[in-house]
Structure 1
Amino acid sequence: MTKQVATILDVPFTTRGFRETVDHITERIQGGQKTHVVTANPEIVMVARENRAFRSIVEQAYVVPDGIGIVYAAKWTNQPIYERVTGVELLEALMAKADQHQWGVYLLGAKPDVIHLAKDKLSARYPNARIVGCRDGYFRPEEETQIVQEIAEAKPQLLFVALGAPRQDEWMAKYRDQLNASLMMGVGGSFDVISGKVKRAPEIWQKLHLEWFYRLASEPSRWKRQLAIPRFVLTVLKEKWSSRS
């Protein structure tokens, strides 16, 4: 039997493929198990490596491999991760489950126009899913108590939070015991994609595993963030070579 966790630079990833991940998370929701999903790419792994408090959050979460760099790192270190589980696709698949089971969904984060567009698109695509709340990410610290209370009273099965990483996961971990959500998941820029404000890379780029390069070409201002990718590769290889010696 394949082990269910693979460790990449001290971050524990689930080894389940996409469909298996969706089914397993659905089982957890139906079984009353609370789940904090972290969609981790090389950038998140490097943040966890350098930020002890964030690493502690990640170590307790359900971490999925969102990024081809994670799949390659697993291959180089002989670990059984064979498939990406991207945040935006996992969000859509869980919305399909919400549609099927009439789950409550709360959407938090992104810009005001983006979150409302995303809500409208998701409501149209998944009419039986109950969107029980929606709030943009431009709130002041003193408004957090009210937002947490609103989510807690709504008791959503799915809470999707787009506040950027690592802030979104730190926020969910801070209020985890109060939020009353079966599943909490940081979704980064997924609402931008769902709303149509940002285009995903064409399918050919996705198949060639060059989605990161397409995003960099589309948004050159991302170059500093993308430096995490070569740093991640070098760190994985360095650890591999040092473990051999």
Structure 2
Amino acid sequence: MRVDLRGRVALVTGAARGIGFAIAERLGANGARVVVADLNAAQAEAARDRLVAAGIEAMALGADVSDERDVAEMVGCAERSYGAVDILVNNAGMVSTTQVTDTTSADWRRVMAVNLDGVFYCIRAALPGMVARGYGRIVNISSVAGKRGGGLLGGSCYAASKGGVIALTKGVAREAGPFGVTVNAITPALIDTEMTSILPPAGRARVLADMPVGRAGTPADIAAAACFLASDAAAFITGEIMDVDGGFMRD
């Protein structure tokens, strides 16, 4: 599905590779100007160069989403450069597979800081501008682990962080809806990325055996859903938690 995002500015976190890059590429291919944000500034710049080479207007920013000052500067820089952030995709995240009894307080805090605090900081920074303009699209990347409580797709700590993203999505959708801002989340299952490469072969096989489509997802699968939710075609959709999972959560 091709949508028209010309005139829109999209800020994508964790956009240097994997799902984040695929989303940035898809939004840009549909006309958006793209802000490629990533913890690794050099990788963000390399990703920006790939987008520009494909004819997409883009800029790169290094930012740690777990640092609220970094996030405020990131959004401020995007607004100073492009005048607005119309689309915010909160994709930056980290995985943890440790069981709760093996999770240190520092491990717990780091996963929450990146996966949940980061989404909160980014929304808090970008939402006022969207409200002032009467338009905005926020897409949060969660996980089916946030619904299932982890398992092969992440430990309890990871599941809790992604479950928090789901609850935050629904809450902000309620707050922002009257101002022309929609807020939705995507819950992927097994997607072939560097992050999921830590799954042992036997575990991967068990997940795939429970996916009716018979394959792992690709970053492009998630990008297609994110682009739809970021478009005017999804103007009447908010507070939605969209499983993009090959049927994994069919029950």
Q: After TM superposition, is the score higher than 0.5? A: no
Query: What's the TM-score once normalised by structure 2's chain length?
Result: 0.36
Question: If you compute each CA radius of gyration, which structure gives the higher value, 1 or 2?
Answer: 1
Higher helix share: 1
